Each structure stands twice: as C-alpha cells, then as structure tokens.
Amino acid sequence: MRNVIELKKINKIYGSQVKTQVLFDLDLAIEEGSFNSIIGQSGSGKSTLLNIIGTLDQPTDGEVYINGKRTDQMNKNELATLRNETIGFIFQFHYLLPEFTALENVLMPYRIQYGKVPADKLKRANELMALVGLEKVKNNKATNMSGGQQQRTAIARALMNSPKIILADEPTGNLDSETTETVYNLLRDINKEMGTTFIIITHDRRIAETADRIIEIKDGRIALDI
Amino acid sequence: MKLSFNIALRFLNSSKGQTFLIALGIAIGVSVQIFIGSLIQGLQIDLVDTTIGSQPQITITSTSDDKLIGDYESRLSDISSDYEGVKHVSPSADGPALVTSDEENYSILVRGLSFEAAEGIYKTKERLVEGSLPENKNEVLIGTTLKDESGIQIGDEVDVLTSSGENQALTVTGIFDFQVANLNSSWVLTTLETAQSMFSYDDRITGIEMQVEDVFLADTISSDIQADLPEDLLAENWKDQNASLLSGLNGQSVSSYMIQVFVMISVLLGIASVLAITVVQKSRQIGILKAMGIRDSAASLIFVFQGLMLGIAGAILGILLGLGLAYVFTRFALNPDGTPVVPLYINPGFIALSAGFAIVVSTLAALIPARKSSKLNPIEVIRNA
Ligand SMILES: Nc1ncnc2c1ncn2[C@@H]1O[C@H](COP(=O)(O)OP(=O)(O)O)[C@@H](O)[C@H]1O
Ligand SMILES: [Mg+2]
C-alpha cells in the first residue's frame, strides 16, 4: 500500500522569545486505508502533530506530504482546497454551525467547494445521516441535539466530500463510554467499507488497541510504533 | 459567493435582537439625515420663495437717457423662446407720481403692467383682497397700506400728479396685499396703456421682468441674455441684489452637510464596532469553515454581506422613520393659522442619496470585521476550544 501521508524531519517550536520545542525530528508515514491511533500523555505533542498533518498548522521545519503533494510550501488557498477535498476533521468539540440544521452542516464541505447542491449530493448527505443513525433529527438545529448526536453529525460532515483521510483529535473525549463505543464502531465500519485512512488521537488505551497501528508520542518523539 | 451570502443571512437571523439594534442604529442615522435635510431644504425653499418668489428674478432696464425700451414686443417673444428655463416674461411701464386725498399727498409708484403676463410673477389675482383687476383705461389697484392711510375706497376717483406735472384722474377698482408694507403703501398697479399715456412713454416701456424655473440659475441665464442685448439695455438678477440672503443660505447648507456627515460617521463607527464584535462571536464558525476549506475571501464576504444587508434594512427603516418624523412635524409643529412652522421639502432624489450613502457606509464599515475574519487562523479557534 502506498503512503497517503508522509512526514520528514518535522520540528515544531512554539514562541519566538521563549522557545518551546514540541516536536523533534519526527518522521512518520501512514499507509492508505489504514486505521491508526495516536496515544501519549497530555502535552506530549499529539494535537500539534495532527494539526500539522491536517495543514492547519505549519512545522517550523521539515516536509509534509499529503497524497504525494508537498504541503508546507502551498499558499493558503491551495491548502484550503486540499483540506476540503482530501481531509475530514473530527475534533473533541463538534464545531457544528449552530445557525444551520444538522443536514445543512453535513452539506457544508460540499457547498464550500461547489456552491449549489445537486440531487445526488443531497442524497449522499441523507445517506450519511442514516449511516450515523440520525435520520430522525437531521433537520434539527445543531443546538437541539445531544452531545453524541452532535459528534455523529460532525463525523457525517467529515465524510461528506469522501476525503481520503480523516483526522480525529479525541473525538469521543466529551462522550460517555457507551456512546464512545458506538462512535468507534462507526469509524471502524467507515474505514472498512470506504477505505478511508484514519488517524485518531485517543487517551483510551482500550480503544487504541483496536487500531491497526498504535503510535505513542512521548516528549515530541515517537516512543512506540506497533 | 452564494454560500457567504447564505451564512451571512443565517448569522443575522440567529441573533435577531442584535441585528435589529444595528439596523435601528443605521435607521436613526438615515432618518435624522432625511429629516434635517428635508427641513433645511424646506426652509430654504420657503425663504427663497417668500423673498423672491413673487418678484421678478431677472429684470431688463434701459441705461439710455430716457430709460425707455422701445420695440419691446419682439424682444419679449425672443426672450421667452430663446432662453431655456425662463418661465414668465412681462413688460412694465413704471413712473413716480403723487396722489392726493383729503389734502394729503402720498408718493406712489405707478406700475403699468400687462396683467395677464404679470400674473405669473406677481400673482395679482391671489393678492387681491377686494374688488377686481383693472380692465379699462385709467383704472387702478392700490395697496392695503395706502388704503388705510389715505382712506381711499374702491370706486373712488383719485387725482394723480406725475413727475412731469401732468394731472390724471384714476378710478380704484381693487385693493391688493403683497404682504410687504413698502409695496402696499407705494405701488399703484394699472394697465400698460394707462401708464404709457400718463407718462407719455408712447409705445415704450421701462422694464422687462421675468421669472426662471430654477431661481439659482438666474445669474447664468441673466448673463446669457445680457450677451445678446444691445449696449443700452442691462439685465440684472436677484442674486446681485441679495448677497446676504445667498450667504445665509450657503451657511445653512454647509451646516446641514456637516450634521449629516457627522451623523453618518457615528453610524459608521457604531456598525464597525458591533460587526467587529460579531467576528469574535462567530470565530468558532469561521474557524471550522476555514478548517473545512472555505477561502479567506469567502469568509470576508460573509461580513461584507452582513454590512450590506444591515445597510439596506437600516436604510429602508430609516426612510420610513424619517418620513414619519417629517409627517409628525408638519402635523404638529404648526403656526397659529394651522400652516406648518416650516414646510418640509420631501425630495426623493435626496432621500435615495441618503439611503444609498447609508448602504455604502455600512458595507464599508463591514470591511474592518471582514479583514479580521480573513486573518483569523483556524488553529487559534481549534486549539482554544
Ligand atoms: N500555541 C502554543 N504556544 C506555545 N506552546 C504551545 C502552543 N500550543 C501547544 N503548546 C505546547 O505544546 C505542547 C504540546 O501540546 P499539544 O500538541 O496540544 O499536546 P497534546 O495534544 O499531546 O496534549 C504542550 O506543552 C503545550 O503547552
Ligand atoms: Mg491534544
């Protein structure tokens, strides 16, 4: 399998006066279609790493390749298009737009890129809502849903543009254990059925162990990779 | 573009109270502009109208020794056909005289007019408070002041002594009131023929008087006419004789513009600051939209559209409010006789200008938050969740 993500010698230093180095010469390659988990103590640099992969943050030096294209030299508009087409984000907080309904939130990535929504895309959004089990509440405003429902809506939204990669930063951090289980099963199913590459940060070892690959970050370096 | 508009609409809709307050702020600005503008324009029109509305605005006189203009018929028709914006053209044959009543002499100005042509300028029919206009030779109108002072009544025959020593008996057929004491006491209006024969002008007159459509163009029209006149004729306009009125009007206009500019600046600052706050309020939404790949320009457009929509809503509301204010003012700020203290001048062009200005200003004000939103980095939002 080819690598859909490649990081070469990534260093990340925060601050200009007081410098704190968070990532050290980090190399990482992620295979297409794989299901990966990142674990590590709080403050070890997991989110920083994921945000660099997602092109939301830039490394201080080193090279980032997404889908074979080098991203650390792209301009803001190129990055925006790349993110829209190839990366789906799921964060600890759902970040749904409270002014829109759940279904409209799911359609948002499509509308950002293409504007008008044709019938087949609307159908896809509806299918995604069914996939995450939210057919009944899809026309609710994002604020009129439970935490689990909001997070599942965010998952459906991340899938809307059929991205190659989904990056999830503690996606169940705000959910109870039962809902956590449902959400992870859902993510695994999507990985199997659609071949989407997943990188999930979690502090739950039990969940992490169900992944194809576990990467542990310690003080900005990869301490374990199995 | 459409998505930005859509998001802008939803943002405005989701905080209706705030949206209404900003729109109201703009509306108050617009309504104050419209009200003050209409008031000042009404005031000026009223002032100009009472000062020069019932007067000739351009007068042609002769500088020759006898001060007489011959061959005037063709000149009258030339002027009304050749110059754009000339409204009423009327000949006059004037001469000073004395009238005697009860052993008392009153000095008068006999004004021979063609009543039909002069109606447009002097509105004699409206000014007539008693009796009727002279129809036959040696019939005259006198003013209310002269009537009160001399005791002359309608139907009286009075003796008039011209400056050249001729005596003439004239019959009073009516009394006028021009609402200017000086005119009411000295003017005696009669037909052109009566005055011409009294003063032995033959077929000549002493002046050509006219009014123009736009009183403020009187000076340019006057100089156009002057250019075509023979050397011994002089065209003069009201502006030459009313410099202080003009500078008063000018001062009024300038202060009105100043008020309007400052009202609009305060509206601009208000909108800019409120919209700047909305960027902070909506930073989560902007952040995630950017993470999902919305371009900075589209993110900025959201706020530009908000400014535009607020401007349009505020302008419409402001027009309604301003017109309402104007209506209330003309209904309740009244003189004892029931007429408005100041007749407002509702000028659709001016209202459209104020509204358009408010919309432009609101959109400009939105550029500040638009820039802010363009600069917002999604990582800031996501890191600080
Ligand atoms: N913007 C920033 N400025 C300075 N230090 C930061 C910033 N963001 C994160 N850090 C620091 O970088 C380290 C790694 O943070 P993070 O990647 O969020 O860790 P994790 O996700 O593993 O908890 C932490 O020590 C954190 O304090
Ligand atoms: Mg983290």
Sorted by where each begins, the domain ranges of chain A are 3-225
Which of A14, A19, A51, when mutated, tests ligand 1's pocket best, judged by the most ligand atoms within 8 Å of its CB? A14
What confidence tens digit (pLDDT) does each residue in B161-217 have?
A: 888 788 888 899 999 998 888 889 999 999 989 888 888 888 888 989 998 888 888
CB contact under 8 A, B296 and A76: yes
Chain A contact set for B379 (CB, 8 A): 51, 56-57
Tell me the helix, strand and coil percentages in chain A, rounded to 5. 40, 30, 35
Q: Touching check for B2 and chain A: CB below 8 Å?
A: yes
Segment A128-151 shows an average pLDDT of 88
Rounded to a whole number of angstroms, the distance between the first and last alpha carbons of chain A is 17
> What is the pLDDT, as a whole number, of residue B49?
80
Mean pLDDT, chain B, integer:
87
How many residues are recorded in chain B?
Answer: 385
Return the minimum-mean-pLDDT range out of A10-14, A83-87, A220-224, B283-287: A220-224
Contact B7 A92 (CB under 8 A): no
pLDDT on residue A53: 93
Q: Which numbered ligand comes closest to the C-alpha of A173?
A: 2
Q: Tell me the shortest Cα–Cα distance from A163 to chain B, in angstroms.
A: 11
Contact residues, chain B, for A89 at CB < 8 Å: 291-292
CA–CA separation, B153 vs B173, rounded Å?
9
pLDDT at B385 over 60: no
Q: For chain B, what is the HEC assignment?
A: CHHHHHHHHHHHHHCHHHHHHHHHHHHHHHHHHHHHHHHHHHHHHHHHHHHHCCCCCEEEEECCCCCCECCHHHHHHHHHHHCCCEEEEEEEEEEEEEEEECCEEEEEEEEEECHHHHHHHHCHHHHEEEECCCCCCCEEEEEHHHHHHHCCCCCCEEEEEECCCCEEEEEEEEEECCCCHHHHHHEEEEEHHHHHHHCCCCCCECEEEEEECCHHHHHHHHHHHHHHCCCCEEEEEHHHHCHHHHHHHHHHHHHHHHHHHHHHHHHHHHHHHHHHHHHHHCHHHHHHHHHCCCCHHHHHHHHHHHHHHHHHHHHHHHHHHHHHHHHHHHHHCECCCCCECCCCCCCHHHHHHHHHHHHHHHHHHCHHHHHHHHHCCHHHHHHCC
Q: What is the pLDDT of residue B318?
A: 93
Q: Is B254 on the interface with A (CB under 8 A)?
A: no
Using CA atoms, how far residue B356 sits from B88, B259, B351, B361, in Å, is 37, 17, 8, 9
Q: Per-residue pLDDT averaged across B18-35, rounded?
A: 89
* A91 Cα to chain B: minimum distance (Å): 8
Distance A30 CA to ligand 1 centre (A): 23
Residue B321, pLDDT score:
93
pLDDT of residue A46: 92
The distance of A52 to chain B (nearest Cα, Å) reads 10
Considering only CB atoms, which chain A residues are within 8 Å of B378?
56
Kindly determine whether residue A112 and residue B291, on different chains, have CB atoms separated by under 8 Å.
Answer: no
Instruction: Report which protein residue has its CA nearest ligand 1's atom 12.
Output: A22
Our CA angle for A30, A33, A37, nearest 5°, is 55
What gap in Å lies between CA B111 and CA A23, rounded to an integer? 104
- Chain A contact for B129 (CB, 8 A cutoff): no
Neighbouring C-alpha atoms within 13 Å toward the C-beta of B166: 14
Q: What is the mean pLDDT of residues A27-40?
A: 92
**Which residue in the set A84, A97, A98 is minimally distant from B293, CB to CB?**
A84
Q: List, for residues A67-122, the tens digit of each pLDDT value.
A: 888 998 899 999 999 999 999 999 888 899 999 999 999 999 999 999 889 999 99
Q: Give A56 to chain B, closest Cα distance, Å.
A: 6
pLDDT score for B384: 67
Please give the residue that has the higher pLDDT: either B51 or B367: B367
Question: What are the chain A neighbours of B298 within 8 Å (beta carbons)?
Answer: 112
pLDDT band at A51 (very low <50, low <70, confident <90, very high): very high
pLDDT for position B319: 93
Long-range contacts of B155-162 (CB under 8 A, 24+ apart): B158/B99, B158/B100, B158/B101, B159/B99, B159/B100, B160/B97, B160/B98, B160/B99, B160/B108, B160/B110, B160/B188, B160/B198, B161/B97, B161/B98, B161/B99, B161/B100, B162/B95, B162/B96, B162/B97, B162/B110, B162/B198, B162/B199
Residue B97: count of CB within 10 angstroms of its CB: 22
Closest-lying ligand 1 atom to the alpha carbon of residue A42: 23
- Give A201 Cα–ligand 2 centroid separation in angstroms: 8
Closest to B206 measured CA to CA, from B86, B64, B88, B82: B64
Q: Which residues of B touch A85 (CB under 8 A)?
A: 293
Q: Say which CATH topology domain A3-225 has.
A: Rossmann fold (3.40.50)
Query: What is the widest separation between alpha-carbon atoms in chain A?
Result: 53
Ligand 2 centroid–CA B133 distance in Å is: 100
- Residues B219-276 have pLDDT tens digits of 888 888 888 888 888 888 888 878 888 888 888 888 888 888 888 888 888 888 888 8
Cβ neighbours for B59, distance < 8 A, ≥ 6 positions apart: B207, B208, B209, B210, B235, B236, B237
Dist CA A45 CA A23 (whole Å): 7
Residue in A80, A89, A111 nearest the CB of B3:
A111
ipTM above 0.85, yes or no: yes
Position in ligand 1 atom list of the atom nearest CA A41: 22
Q: What angle do CA A114, A117, A119 make, to 5 degrees?
A: 140
Structure tokens at B41: 């324009």
